[in-house]
Amino acid sequence: MKNKVHLALERAIDCLSDTDIIIKNELNFASVNRAYYSVFYAISALLYSKDIFVKTHSGAISKFNELFIKESVFDLETAKSVSLIFEMRQGADYDLEYELGDKEAELAVKIAHNFINQVVQYFQKNPIN
């Protein structure tokens, strides 16, 4: 049976695959949503690897920053990208007046791809059984 780390990482990769399909159809709001969730599930995998389970998205990001940014596992640019994609998803999902063009959606997808690549590299260097 797979553990939560592997399951969360698989979910992150699945969401990332969704973004590649969705963005081709110019569905910007859906692209940002799936890109964000790929990042969120990857963060969850990182936290699960430390036996940390949080209840909220903002709690997950806060704990990620505490354990992985402050400890210089990931750089400050990564933290900024995570914060940006969180804000974009909040706007896209909850603000009916939020404007989201192709460039913003493409940026969210790029952030997600970069982040997932970093997390995969992290787990290659720090394997989980």
pLDDT digit string (tens) for the chain, length 129 residues: 469 999 999 999 999 999 999 999 999 999 999 999 999 999 999 999 999 999 999 999 999 999 999 999 999 999 999 999 999 999 999 999 999 999 999 999 999 999 999 999 999 999 886
Distances (CA, A) of 23 to 14, 29, 108: 15, 9, 10
CATH number for the region 4-124 comes to: 1.20.120.330
Nearest to 120 by CA among 31, 37, 4, 10: 10
Domain boundaries, the chain: 4-124
